[in-house]
Chains A and B, each alone.
Chain A
């Protein structure tokens, strides 16, 4: 459970507010440029990859003079936040094609976990007779 600190309102609340930042592709793809359009001209647009994670990474897109459109090529797949001093929103950056290592880890993990559970179930019931009731007399196990 751990930390609940609701300072997070500061992060969650903008995401719930109506979006003033729009993208030419609402689900951009890693490595493929998209245009970000803003309601008001700004000189800086901050892109945070994996916001609020311990490995968050920040890029700054700059425009001189201030502009309402920025060209952005997402460097990482995953949730990213786009923010200006006045507004902000989150966007999901899709993977470019299938992630081979991701599928590999998923298959290995799934096989080990579900396979391991299945194997352990097999062992559990291997020696069991038809009835799985242990029917233990407590007297057989005196206090140690």
Chain B
């Protein structure tokens, strides 16, 4: 028995939910990590260009098709571009489910680190069952603490807790989502402002900020920096996952989606701006060097910096707790949208109840999340990721995150631009927009964005040899490097094919 389609109680509720969806782990740490990797100031200018050229226009597309059809992502694409569109939509949902599984596993670890802030995270004498970390450390060491954490079964409990929180928030759809984001999103901003102020007031902190913003001309000339900036913008705004379309579908048809897209994009990038201030000041003051990306920065490097923030232990613990609370809150506001996207799609397609849709998603995904936290040590020398769970997560993340979002984005703009018609979407958006879109919007959707996305995808694929993860020393588990991408691709394609072929139950 399906309930009538829901709607947001207020415009603010929608904006908080959509910005909360966009602002997640990627904004807090992935942005800074990418910005560092691509040379600080060399990255920021291309990143800014990407906001206007790629981020906002695709956000307008995803919001626009949601309100236009009042449907979730696959059914919206089905309506506008036929069966092929629905197939792409379900493929995107299938990939989003993989992302949801490991995203919540990461949030489980973050919850573990948050609890550890008042435990032994900032204390000396930690060790882990890996060759480099076997001896107790003379100083507090977040890296060792993290590896010890993931080699126990405790994270499975944390993962279950995060899943329960998500399902609790999603139990009544927009009604309960809105209640949660009205608390979580302002808290996220408050904590980030506190961290940014603390970073800027550290001796030398402002030099770190200058490092982020001073344009480095030698880097700006590098095509890889532009590719990194455009990818970051896509991931940062949570495009290509179906979440934005699902949320927008709960708005009335007369919503101003041009303005909503601008607002959510600006809020997202403003948050990243603050995150840049907080994290670059920390990196610079303590001469920290993020060698990897998100996980290394959030679980190894930042806590190391927090540990040196003060000689007073409770201040260090408080900042450590606040940082991981921020990560957990930001993660939950994103994960609820990752679950809502498939839930709303199942409800639209099969007219099932919300409770049933959530159960259909949660049961396999909780199992999947737990797989990503399996503590079995398969690489004791740490040439790779150490545990089975982290190895599964690392390789899955590499393929799913790097390729599914961008590929969906590419196919989405092609379908809207060439099958449905960029002109029709532009007209629909302009109908209720205060700021009207010009002809440039059609040029972007039809020509420029497909080319940009295709170049990013193809150049990334060309750098895929040797196969990701094949250099890790994992006796007996080397097959994972091939199995994971093949399984992901085969599973999601079959899933999309099966559901697209299934009969759509009419209202």
- Tell whether A pairs with B: yes
> Is B12 a contact of A53 with CB atoms below 8 Å?
no
Residue contact A124 to B384, C-beta cutoff 8 Å: no
Main secondary structure of the interface of B (DSSP, over half): helix
Contact A123 B293 (CB under 8 A): no
With a cutoff of 8 Å between Cβ atoms, the chain A residues found around residue B48 in the complex are 109, 112
B171 interface residue, CB < 8 Å from A? no
A13 to B435 Cα, complex, angstroms:
52
CB-CB under 8 A for A95 and B143, given A53-B36, A141-B70: no
Provide the residues of chain B in CB contact with A53, threshold 8 Å: 36-40
Residue pairs across A and B with Cβ atoms less than 8 A apart, 30 shown, are: A2-B398, A2-B401, A2-B402, A6-B390, A7-B291, A8-B296, A11-B289, A12-B296, A52-B36, A52-B37, A53-B39, A53-B40, A54-B222, A55-B216, A77-B214, A78-B211, A78-B284, A95-B207, A101-B41, A101-B214, A101-B215, A103-B213, A105-B213, A109-B213, A120-B266, A132-B11, A136-B252, A138-B7, A144-B68, A144-B79
CB < 8 Å: which of B79, B143, B225, B384 contacts A12? B143
Give the residues in chain A near B296, CB-CB below 8 Å: 4, 6, 8, 12
**A-B CB pair tally, cutoff 8 Å:** 232
Q: A54-B37, A54-B219 are in contact. Are A144 and B293 (CB under 8 A)?
A: no
Contact of B209 among A3, A4, A10, A106 (CB under 8 A): A106
Contact residues in B for A92 (Cβ distance below 8 Å): 204, 207-208, 284-287
Residues of B within 8 A of A105 (CB): 41, 44-45, 213-215
Distance in angstroms between the alpha carbons of A103 and B41 in the assembled complex: 11
Query: Is B123 an interface position by the 8 A CB rule?
Result: no
Q: A54 contacts which chain B residues (CB < 8 A)?
A: 37-39, 219, 222, 224-225, 228
Give B residues with C-beta under 8 Å from A.
4-5, 7-12, 15, 25-26, 30, 36-42, 44-45, 48, 68-71, 79, 103, 106, 132, 139, 141, 143, 204, 207-216, 218-219, 222, 224-225, 228, 235, 252-253, 256, 259-260, 262-263, 266-267, 269-270, 273, 283-296, 300-301, 304, 382-386, 390, 393-394, 397-398, 401-402, 434-435, 471, 507
The 6 closest A-B pairs by CB, nearest first: A102-B214, A8-B291, A11-B291, A120-B263, A117-B266, A90-B287
Other 17 A-B pairs with CB < 8 A, given A4-B397, A90-B289, A95-B210: A1-B26, A1-B30, A4-B295, A4-B296, A16-B304, A50-B40, A52-B36, A52-B291, A55-B39, A77-B211, A102-B209, A105-B45, A109-B48, A124-B259, A124-B263, A134-B7, A141-B253
* A1: chain B residues within 8 A (beta carbon): 25-26, 30, 103, 106, 235, 293-295, 397, 401
Write the A100-121 contact mask toward B (1 if CB under 8 angstroms, else 0): 0111011001101110110011
| Most chain A CB neighbours (cut-off 10 Å) among B208, B287, B435 | B287
**What residues of chain A lie closer than 8 Å to B507, measured between beta carbons?**
143
A86 at interface by CB-CB < 8 Å: no
**Given A92-B285, A109-B213, A5–B225 Cβ distance below 8 Å?**
no
Q: Are A7 and B143 in contact (CB-based, < 8 A)?
A: no
Contact indicator B11/A116 (Cβ below 8 Å): no
Judge whether B289 and A52 touch: CB under 8 Å: yes
- Whether A16 contacts B141 in the complex (CB less than 8 A), given A1-B25, A102-B214, comes out as yes
